[in-house]
Amino acid sequence: MINSIGLDATIAAPEHVRTKKLGNGKEKVKRRICQYDTHSFRHSFVSFCANAGVPMAIVQEIVGHGSPAMTRHYYHMDQLAAQRAINTLPAIGKEAPSTQVAALRRKLHQFIDTADLSQLQCLQEQLLSEHQSIPADIIEAEALPEPENALAITPERLQYLLPDYTIEAIGQVFGVTGTALRKRMKKFNLSRPAKRIVSGVLSSEQITAAQSKIKQI
């Protein structure tokens, strides 16, 4: 399933996996194993949304990407889904078969030869009238709005939290993903401290307590 959407999840085996000999030279080669990580399933989630027709702006907000271009990087649409999308497009500029065009041309010539002036004027108005636009189903989607009670991410608040909390824990406090938080840190030119922090996943009580502290900053 993973490989069907363009992901190569096969990696070299670790040291403890036994090797085998191949070829006339009895050369030892390492076995290949299949292993998936959370990043692989990030590709899978975005691809499944693409094939299901979920608007890109909504998927972008869910996964925390900063631009539509990054979200498109994770899109792996299969041929069937792409064909379904093409089939929904209006047939703009589609030409009729040559036999139908020839038959229509003969009928027009016959009509012109037998029609009076008023009929020809009516035909001219119809032929020279403005083309009506072809209706098409368009999905309009915007990024999800920020909640009204969302905490603003400021450099001062991040500097207060970074020494004691991991990126994921700080994301819980602000209600954003780790990816979105890292992009905000890059914007503010901030980095994590050198010491290793193991704060783990925060409970609801810990999140409330941290939010109460940073609201005063």
Task: Please write the tens of the pLDDT for every residue from 184-202.
Answer: 888 888 887 766 666 677 7
Does residue 173 belong to any structural domain of this protein?
yes
CB 169 within 8 A of CB 181: no
Q: Which residues of 17-36 are buried (b: 16+ CB within 10 A; e: fewer)?
A: eeeeeeeeeeeeeeeeeeee
More confident residue, 217 or 2: 217
Does residue 147 belong to any structural domain of this protein?
no
pLDDT band, very low/low/confident/very high, at 97 (cuts 50, 70, 90): low
Range of the structural domain that residue 159 is part of: 155-214
DSSP H or E stretch at residue 103: helix 98-114
Structure-block tokens of residue 158: 């991040």
pLDDT band, very low/low/confident/very high, at 5 (cuts 50, 70, 90): very low
Rounded CA-CA distance 175/181 in Å is 10
Among 53, 70, 87, give the residue marking a domain's end: 87
Question: CA 16 from chain center: how many Å?
Answer: 38
**How many Cα neighbours within 13 Å face the side chain of 190?**
20
CB 5 within 8 A of CB 50: no
Among 61, 87, 113, give the residue marking a domain's end: 87
CB 188 within 8 A of CB 160: no
Does residue 57 belong to any structural domain of this protein?
yes
Does residue 30 belong to any structural domain of this protein?
yes
Does residue 162 belong to any structural domain of this protein?
yes
Taking only the tens place, the pLDDT of each residue in 124-174 is 676 665 554 445 454 555 555 555 556 788 888 888 888 888 888 888 888
φ and ψ at residue 153, rounded to 5 degrees = -90, 110
More confident residue, 61 or 14: 61
Does residue 81 belong to any structural domain of this protein?
yes
Instruction: State what percent of residues in the chain have pLDDT above 70.
Output: 53
Reported pTM: 0.34
pLDDT band, very low/low/confident/very high, at 71 (cuts 50, 70, 90): confident
Question: CA 92 from chain center: how many Å?
Answer: 27
Does residue 41 belong to any structural domain of this protein?
yes
Per DSSP, 92 falls in state T
Average pLDDT over residues 69-94: 64
pLDDT value, residue 19: 53
Does residue 159 belong to any structural domain of this protein?
yes
Angle between helices 56-63 and 38-52 (to 10 degrees): 160
Residue with tokens 């450099």: 155
In the chain, the number of structural domains is 2
Among 53, 87, 121, give the residue marking a domain's end: 87
Average pLDDT over residues 105-128: 72
